[in-house]
Amino acid sequence: MAINVSIAENSLPPPSATPTSGAGVLDVRLPPPTTTAKKLQHRLLEIFFPDDPLHRFKDQTLSRKFVLGLQYFLPILQWAPHYTLKLLKSDVVSGLTIASLAIPQGISYAKLANLPPIIGLYSSFVPPLIYSVLGSSKHLAVGPVSIASLVMGTMLREAVSEEENPTLYLQLVFTATFFAGLFQASLGFLRLGFVIDFLSKATLVGFMAGAAVIVALQQLKGLLGIIHFTSKMQLIPVLSSVFNENNEWSWQTIVMGMCFLIVLLVTRQISMRNPKLFWISAAAPLTSVILSTALVACLKSKLPDIQTIGKLPEGVNPPSANMLFFSGRYIGLAIKTGIITGILSLTEGIAVGRTFATLKNYQVDGNKEMMAIGLMNMSGSCTSCYVTTGSFSRSAVNYNAGAQTAVSNIVMAAAVLITLLFLMPLFRYTPNLILAAIIITAVVGLIDYKGVYELWKVDKLDFLAALCSFFGVLFISVPIGLAIAVGISVFKILLHVTRPNTVPLGNIPGTQVYQSLNRYREAVRIPSFFIIAVEAPIYFANSAYLQERILRWIREEEGWLASNSCSDMKCVILDMTAVTGIDTSGIDLITELQRMLNLRSIKLVLVNPVGSVMEKLHHSNILESFGFEGLYLTIGEAVMDISSSCKAEP
């Protein structure tokens, strides 16, 4: 059923004039009729397949479809056939560059997760190989990252001490990694990738900065040479640990640590100022490790206070599938840790992948990436790796070093393999302080001052969300800080829906345009009409508010009319253009408003309800009470039609 509403044809004269002759007919129309099943199907397609992933398969032969399908799941098949020697040259350079970063960072980040350094190297070997087969980003450099390492370390250490029970701790780490991978792959497979969108930019800016501060402060342990350090992650216990244990401070460690830290920070600054010199900051960590190791090895007797990594086992990743557990006391903790580190590492990986894809104009399919990262972590958990993803810092170096395909990850893995097989004894005298300095240099980049300022400038509530997640992480805990920030982001959406804008409109003289009276000074009220736009869907969460607010607008408007001795209000026009949805409570609101206005002999008119709203109004039979004269396509038509019909019956 369509409610027909006559309106004058094309260009409408100003509202006070009578309609021109030759009027056409235009309806406020329902969307084409469709079944509930069809609507559900459309809705589900929009939820799960907004990118229409099958469009490549349309109008293709069966064999071509098979090849395309294989290429979809194994992107390596897309680019490997066209791989050239020239590409290889670039990839080898970039692969070796990121390896020189990945090896010291791998060892350092493993320490952050309270793991033996070797696990960090294991995690820089298997996952990059798997990603190079499954992943669709050309620039992602895969391996352990600081945030996920930190969160995993914090969450597991609360239940199990890695010193007292190293085997159980390792089991927990691998199991959590397995669940992280499972969670990531499921999100991708079930096409629920939008879950990570709920970690808004504002949330992440605050969270990253908070985590960076915590991580940097924790490194004071290594930089100052403190032995007995708190296992807590909050600001206060860490700081008190630093200052209470000042008898353990070692001046040798402090001097050496500070020197290397300054060198690393300076090289980072140089590369940031001039991206062409990226290799300076890329080479600095490995160079520092070599230098400091050599220094400690030579002056061992003179530097007795400096703590070193110690002996590391040689050889490639041992299998660890037998260390996974799927029941018992700690299974809940493992799943929780897996989900949180999984979502964090996914967010980082996807964001990094998208950033560099945008720079080089190719597409990264979020859901496919999630499956790739998830499978990579699941396999990693069976080969002694902990949670890995695309690292922002290493991917940036990879990009700047000219990486062309995922082969750079393979080259990096090869370099790590050589290290694992032959170079492990060299790390024996590597001092812990250099790892601390490397971590600090890496996490400093996570503090995004400019981003925070931008948030403040554009959106105060976003800024508040960032602030809360920053302080939440700093003073309470990482998961709670994250939860607070997500809560604020969701609250912001709800607030927008709960307290929507309502804007009284006026006509801009000489046009058919109706705009906010507040924003457009020249807009004028139309005598006897009160036009109001509702700027939100009308839902249970705001229908009570909207009713109160609209009645208050009418009350205030009537007061204004009385004090300016204008004619009485005869018609309230509700501009529904921005009412993008309505539910049963919203329909009740409209019924109620109509009833209350009718009691005061004021007519209520709806203008331009969108398709889905129109449909619901129709189903609820409320349209019948509006009839032919209560529904218009534009405000101009409504004003003209009603004022002319008022004149007709004076």
Residue 390 as a binder of a second copy (CB under 8 A): the answer is no
Which stretch in 60-68, 295-303, 396-404, 587-595 sits in contact with a second copy by CB under 8 A?
A: 587-595
Residues 6+ apart with CB under 8 A from 368: 72, 75, 136, 188
Residues from 117 through 176 that contact a second copy (CB under 8 A): none
Residue 33 as a binder of a second copy (CB under 8 A): the answer is no
Reported as type and span, the H/E element at residue 502 is: strand 502-507
Minimum separation from the CB atom of position 197 to a second copy (A)? 5
Using the minimum distance from each CB to a second copy, give the nearer residue, 286 or 574: 574
Contact map string, positions 339 to 368, toward a second copy, x by CB under 8 A: -------------------x--x----x--
Q: Considering only residues 57, 66, 73, 194, which one is a binding residue for a second copy as defined by CB under 8 A?
A: 194
Minimum separation from the CB atom of position 234 to a second copy (A)? 24
**Cα–Cα distance between 350 and 56 in angstroms, integer?**
22
Rounded (10°) angle between helices 478-498 and 460-471: 160
Residues 6+ apart with CB under 8 A from 116: 110, 312
Task: Give the three-class secondary structure for 389.
Answer: strand
Q: Considering only residues 16, 18, 41, 50, which one is a binding residue for a second copy as defined by CB under 8 A?
A: 50
Q: Considering only residues 18, 38, 51, 60, which one is a binding residue for a second copy as defined by CB under 8 A?
A: 51
Residue 30 as a binder of a second copy (CB under 8 A): the answer is yes
Q: Considering only residues 1, 21, 32, 61, which one is a binding residue for a second copy as defined by CB under 8 A?
A: 32
Give the torsion sign (CA, 445, 462, 340, 483). positive
Reported as type and span, the H/E element at residue 126 is: helix 126-134
The CA-based dihedral angle spanning residues 38, 43, 44, 48, taken in that order and rounded to the nearest 10 degrees: 140
**Cα–Cα distance between 3 and 426 in angstroms, integer?**
83
Plot region of 384 (φ>0 → left; ψ -120 to 50 → alpha; else → beta): left
Using the minimum distance from each CB to a second copy, give the nearer residue, 29 or 232: 29
Q: Considering only residues 72, 79, 229, 540, which one is a binding residue for a second copy as defined by CB under 8 A?
A: 540
Residue 537 as a binder of a second copy (CB under 8 A): the answer is yes
**Cα–Cα distance between 434 and 193 in angstroms, integer?**
38
Using the minimum distance from each CB to a second copy, give the nearer residue, 217 or 455: 455
Sole residue written with tokens 């600095």: 284
Are 123 and 102 in contact by the 8 Å Cβ rule? The answer is no
Which stretch in 103-111, 218-226, 299-307, 516-524 sits in contact with a second copy by CB under 8 A?
A: 516-524
Residues from 196 through 225 that contact a second copy (CB under 8 A): 197-198, 200-203
Minimum separation from the CB atom of position 143 to a second copy (A)? 25
Residue 40 as a binder of a second copy (CB under 8 A): the answer is yes
Which stretch in 111-119, 252-260, 308-316, 536-544 sits in contact with a second copy by CB under 8 A?
A: 536-544
Are 128 and 91 in contact by the 8 Å Cβ rule? The answer is no
Residue 599 as a binder of a second copy (CB under 8 A): the answer is yes
Residue 46 as a binder of a second copy (CB under 8 A): the answer is yes
Residue 10 as a binder of a second copy (CB under 8 A): the answer is yes
- Tokens representing residue 444 in the block: 């400093």
Residues from 476 through 495 that contact a second copy (CB under 8 A): 489-490, 492-495
Minimum separation from the CB atom of position 416 to a second copy (A)? 33
Minimum separation from the CB atom of position 26 to a second copy (A)? 7
Minimum separation from the CB atom of position 68 to a second copy (A)? 17
Minimum separation from the CB atom of position 3 to a second copy (A)? 13
Minimum separation from the CB atom of position 543 to a second copy (A)? 8
Q: Considering only residues 82, 86, 329, 519, which one is a binding residue for a second copy as defined by CB under 8 A?
A: 519
Task: Give the three-class secondary structure for 192.
Answer: coil
Residue 568 as a binder of a second copy (CB under 8 A): the answer is no
Question: What number of chain residues touch a second copy (CB under 8 A)?
Answer: 95
CA distance readout (Å), 12 to 5, 27, 527 = 15, 16, 18
Question: How many other C-beta atoms can be found within 10 angstroms of the C-beta atom of residue 515?
Answer: 16
Minimum separation from the CB atom of position 12 to a second copy (A)? 6
Q: Considering only residues 6, 287, 307, 498, which one is a binding residue for a second copy as defined by CB under 8 A?
A: 498
Residue 24 as a binder of a second copy (CB under 8 A): the answer is yes
Are 380 and 148 in contact by the 8 Å Cβ rule? The answer is no
Minimum separation from the CB atom of position 509 to a second copy (A)? 9
Q: Considering only residues 18, 89, 611, 625, which one is a binding residue for a second copy as defined by CB under 8 A?
A: 611
**Cα–Cα distance between 1 and 14 in angstroms, integer?**
31
Using the minimum distance from each CB to a second copy, give the nearer residue, 402 or 581: 581
Are 439 and 229 in contact by the 8 Å Cβ rule? The answer is no
CA 626 to chain centre: 44
**Cα–Cα distance between 475 and 210 in angstroms, integer?**
9
Q: β-strand 514-516 against 529-534: which pairing, if any?
A: unpaired
Are 68 and 56 in contact by the 8 Å Cβ rule? The answer is yes
Reported as type and span, the H/E element at residue 5 is: strand 3-6
- Tokens representing residue 325 in the block: 């557990």
Using the minimum distance from each CB to a second copy, give the nearer residue, 93 or 486: 486
Residue 619 as a binder of a second copy (CB under 8 A): the answer is yes
Residues 6+ apart with CB under 8 A from 364: 136, 137, 350, 353, 354, 357
Give the torsion sign (CA, 543, 545, 548, 554). negative
Which stretch in 51-59, 144-152, 295-303, 441-449 sits in contact with a second copy by CB under 8 A?
A: 51-59
Residues from 429 through 468 that contact a second copy (CB under 8 A): 454-455, 457-462
Task: Give the three-class secondary structure for 225.
Answer: coil
Residue 47 as a binder of a second copy (CB under 8 A): the answer is yes
**Cα–Cα distance between 290 and 311 in angstroms, integer?**
16
Task: Give the three-class secondary structure for 631.
Answer: strand
Which stretch in 96-104, 156-164, 469-477, 591-599 sits in contact with a second copy by CB under 8 A?
A: 591-599
Minimum separation from the CB atom of position 451 to a second copy (A)? 8
Which stretch in 190-198, 211-219, 388-396, 429-437 sits in contact with a second copy by CB under 8 A?
A: 190-198
Q: Considering only residues 3, 5, 12, 397, which one is a binding residue for a second copy as defined by CB under 8 A?
A: 12
CA distance readout (Å), 468 to 414, 475, 554 = 43, 10, 39
Using the minimum distance from each CB to a second copy, give the nearer residue, 125 or 514: 514
Residues from 261 through 320 that contact a second copy (CB under 8 A): none
Which stretch in 8-16, 265-273, 314-322, 438-446 sits in contact with a second copy by CB under 8 A?
A: 8-16
**Cα–Cα distance between 201 and 626 in angstroms, integer?**
44
Residue 583 as a binder of a second copy (CB under 8 A): the answer is yes
Minimum separation from the CB atom of position 94 to a second copy (A)? 25
Minimum separation from the CB atom of position 612 to a second copy (A)? 7
Question: What 3 state SS string does 542-579 have?
Answer: HHHHHHHHHHHHHHHHHHHHHHCCCCCCCEEEEECCCC
